[in-house]
Structure 1
Amino acid sequence: MRDINLKATEYFESVARLGTVTKAAAELGVSPSAVSQQIKILENQFGVRLFRREKRRLVLTLDGDRLFQTTTQAFGAIRNARSAIGRQRHTRSLTVRVSPTFGVRWLGPRIAGFANDNPDWNIRIDATPDFSAFETEAVDCDLRYGPGGWAGLTVEPVMQDLVLPLCSPEYRTRMRDAAPDLAGRLSQARLIDSAKALLRWDVWLAANRVELNGLSYPFRFDRSSMSIEMAKQGGGVALDNAALCLPELRRGELVPFVPEVPVLTLAAYWFVCPPRHLNRRIVNRFSGWIIDAASRSEAETRDFLAGLGCGFRDMTAPEANTPEAVVPGISE
C-alpha cells in the first residue's frame, strides 16, 4: 500500500462519483486546479488514462471505471464507519458481556425491564463465554460464571448455582421402575454432562457418596442450555442450575430426579468491572438492578424447590462434606 497515493485516490473517487472537478473540489475543500493535479499524479502512477473528455464532460475510461468501483466502495465504507463512530461517541450506551446460557435463559427474559426503566440508554448484550479484556475492549461490565476472585476488578456476587439432577417426568418414572436405589437408577440413566459447569457429575456423586462403576457421559455439551433441552426431551438426566430452567420446572416439563437429595449451592454468577467503570451512572444502575433481580429470582427458585420437598446444602460450608450432610437411605 505504500506505493499508492491515497490522497490522489481520494480526489479521483470524488471526481468520478460527482462527475466534475468543480464539485469534487467543493466537497474536498480545495481548488479545482489542486484536484486536477492529483488526478494527473494518479494517472502517471498507474500509466493509464482514467478520464476522457466528451463534450465538456469527464467520462471514466475502462481502467478508470475499474478503479472507481473499488475505491468508491472502500471510501464509502470508511465514511460509514466514521459516521457510526461519531454517533456512538454521543450515544448513551451500556455494553454488557454475559455467558450464552445465562444470557439467553435468564437475562434475556428480564432485560426489557431494565431498558424500560432507562429509556434514554442503548443496551448492548454480548453473549460469549470469553471474559472481557477491559483494557482493550469497549465493554462496561461482565456477568461472569465462575469461581470469582478476579484480581484488580470489582467483583460482586449476583446469584448462586442451585444444582440438582433434572429430567422429564416420564424419564424419572422409567428410572424408578428400573431400580429401587439411587446408584442403580443412575447406573442405568443417561447422564448429560455440562462440560463447563462448576459442579459436574463427579463432584455431585462424591458429595452424595454415590459410587458408579465406569462413569460415562453419553451426552456432553459445552452449553447448559443444550443439556437442559436434552433432559426436557427425555434424553437423560442433566445436572444443572434450577434457576436457569424455572419456567420448565413450573410447567412440569422438568422434575428433580431425586428430590430427597439436597440441592447443592455455591456462588457462581458475578458482576465484574474495573473499579473506574462504576463512576458511570448507568453501570451503577445496572449493578444494583442485576443484583436485586437475581436475588428475587434465586428466592423464587428456592421456594419452588422447597415446595417439591427439596432441601439445600451449601458447598462452601465446612459441614458440607460431612457424613451427616448426606440424606440417610439415599446414598449407596
Structure 2
Amino acid sequence: MTRPPNLNALPYFEAVARRGSITRAAEELSISPSGVSQQIKLLEQQLGVKLFRRAGRNLSLTLEGELLAQTTGTALRMLSDVQANLRGTRNAARLNLRVSPSFGVRWLGPRLSDFIRQYPDFDLRVDAAPDPTDFDREIMDIEVRYGTGNWAGLHSTPLVADHVLPLVSPAYLARLPPDDPLSKARLIDSARALCQWDFWLWHHGQTRATNVKSVLMDRSSMALQLACDGAGVVLESLALAEAELTDGRLVPLTPALPVLSFPAYWMLSPARFLKRRPVRLFMDWAQGQAAAHQHRIERLLADNGLTVTQVDASAQLRPDQ
C-alpha cells in the first residue's frame, strides 16, 4: 500500500510554491529557512520526485511540483474555511440569521435593537438575501423565509401573516373615478409577492381592464415607494406597509372589499438547532414581536373600516386553482 504524503510538510511546500522562495516562505511561517528546506527535502524523498528547480535565488516548480501545488493549495484553503466555520459554530453566544431584504429593512430591522438590548452578550450576524439557506453547507442558525410553509426537512414556525390590500397615495386616489378607480389606475406589483393583482382581482370577482398599465417591481420597498410617489396603486402587505398606512402616505383604495390574509413569513431551522440557546431565545423574542405587530394591524384595520378574509396560500394564490 502506498504511504500517504507527509502532511506536516505540505504547508511548508505550499508556502514555498506560492512565494517562490524558501526565505520568503520561512518569514511567512515564522520559522528558519533551514527548517523549511528540511521539510521540502523530506517530502521529495518520500514522493521520490523533485518538486522544485532552482533559478538563481528563486525556485520554480517542476511538473510534479505543479501537480502537487494545485491540489495542496485547494486542500489547505478548504481546511482553513472549515476551521473558521467550526470556530463560529462553537461560539454559543453567536446567532447567524438570514432574512429577505424588504422584510429585513421594514419589519425586522427596526425591532432588532430591542433584541440586542435584551441580549447584549450575543454576537449577531444578519444576512439580508432572498436566496433559501442551505443549512448543511452554510453557517446559518435561522432563516426568516417568505412563502407558504412546509419546507421538507426543516422545522418551520409561522411568524407574521400577510394582510394584502390595494394601497394608493391620497393625491393619486383623488384623480381616479370614485365609482370604478381600477379602470384608470396603473397597477403596481411586487415580483416576489405571493398574492398579486391577478389573484386579488379574481378573488373579488373583478377583471383587469385591457387598457390598464402596470409596473412590476423586484422589491416590495421599491413598489411601496412608487405608490407613495403617486405613480399608481400597489397591492402590498401591511407587514411591510404598516408605517405608510399609519401616517397616511398611503390609504386603502377600496375599503369596502376585504383584506386578504394568510401566513407568509416563517422562521426556519433544522430541528437539531432548536437546542441552541440563541436560537430558542431569538424565536421566542420574534414571536413576541409578531404578536404585538398583529395587535397593531388589527387596530389599524378597524380604524380604516377594513374586514379580513383568510385565503389558502398553499394553493399558490392562483385564480386557476
CA offsets 1:155-181 (integer angstroms, 9 cap, x no match): 211111011111111011111xxx232
**Aligned residue for 1:325?**
none
Cα deviation, 1:28-67, whole Å, max 9, x if unaligned, reads xx847616858999xx75543352xxxxxxxxx5989xxx
Query: Hey, what does 1:88 align to over in structure 2?
Result: 88
Partner of residue 24, structure 1: 31
Structure 2: how far apart are the matches of 1:21 and 1:228? 53
Alpha-carbon shift at residue 227 of structure 1 (Å): 0.9
Q: Distance in 1 between matches of 2:222 and 2:30?
A: 59
Question: What residue number does 1:181 align with?
Answer: 179
Tell me the alpha carbon deviations over residues 184-215 of structure 1, each in whole angstroms, 9 at most, x when there is no partner.
x1021000011221111111112222223327
TM normalised by structure 2 equals 0.76
Other-structure match for 1:49: 55
Instruction: Please state how far the C-alpha of 1:261 moved relative to its aligned partner.
Output: 2.0
Structure 2 CA distance for partners of 1:291 and 1:135, relative to 1, 3 Å: same
Distance of 1:112 and 1:250 partners within structure 2: 22
Distance 1:136 1:36, change over 3 A: closer
2:38 counterpart residue number: 34
Q: Look up the match of 2:272.
A: 276
CA RMSD in angstroms comes to 3.7
300-309 or 234-243, which deviates more: 300-309
Give the partner amino acid of 1:211.
T
- Is the CA contact (8 Å cut-off) linking 1:155 and 1:271 kept in structure 2? yes
- Provide the residue aligned with 1:218 in structure 2: 214
Seq. identity, % = 38
Alignment correspondent of 2:229:
233
Alignment of 1:19-168 (within 5 A): 24-25=31-32, 31=35, 34=38, 37=41, 45-49=51-55, 51=57, 84-85=84-85, 87-91=87-91, 92-168=93-169
Tell me, in whole angstroms, the C-alpha distance in 1 between the residues paired with 2:89 and 2:113.
24
Distance 1:141 1:19, change over 3 A: closer
Q: Aligned to 1:109, what secondary structure does the other structure show? A: helix
Task: Give distance in 1, aligned partners of 2:254 and 2:127.
Answer: 36
Which amino acid is the alignment partner of residue 228 of structure 1?
L
**1:246 CA drift (Å):** 1.6
Are the equivalent residues in 1 in contact too, given 2:89–2:139 (CA < 8 A)?
no
Q: Which has the larger radius of gyration?
A: 1
Question: How far apart are the structure 1 equivalents of 2:236 and 2:36?
Answer: 70
Query: Do the aligned partners of 2:238 and 2:297 also contact (CA within 8 Å) in 1?
Result: yes
Superposition deviation, residue 81 in structure 1 = 5.9
Q: Is the 8 A contact 1:167 1:255 kept in 2?
A: yes
**Residue aligned with 1:110, SS:** helix
Cα 1:7–1:143 shift into 2, 3 Å: closer
Q: Matched residue of 2:110: which SS?
A: coil
For 1:161, the aligned partner's letter is: D
The number of equivalent residue pairs is 290
Cα–Cα, structure 1 residues 80 and 130, in superposed 2: closer, same or farther, change >3 Å? closer
Match of 1:172 in 2: 173
Aligned-partner residue type, residue 23 of structure 2: A
Q: Is the contact made by 2:167 and 2:233 (CA closer than 8 Å) also made in structure 1?
A: yes
Contact map agreement 1:50 1:63 (CA 8 A) in 2: no
* Aligned partner letter, 1:48: R
SS at match of 1:298: helix
CA contact (8 A) 1:94 1:124 kept: yes
Q: 1:281 corresponds to which letter in structure 2?
A: R
Cα distance in structure 1, aligned partners of 2:124 and 2:28? 44
Change over 3 Å in CA distance of 1:215–1:195 after alignment to 2: farther
Change (3 A) 1:151 1:169: same
Offset, 1:294: 1.2
TM-score (normalizing by structure 1): 0.74
Secondary structure of 2:268 counterpart: strand
Q: How far did 1:283 drift?
A: 0.8
C-alpha deviation, 1:278, in angstroms = 0.6
List gaps (5 residues or longer) in structure 1: 52-60, 65-73, 318-332
Q: Which residue of 1 aligns with 2:64?
A: none
The separation in 2 between residues aligned to 1:280 and 1:22, in whole angstroms, is 37
CA distance in 1, matches of 2:225, 2:14: 54
Counterpart residue number, 1:322: none
Q: Distance in 2 between matches of 1:275 and 1:127?
A: 22
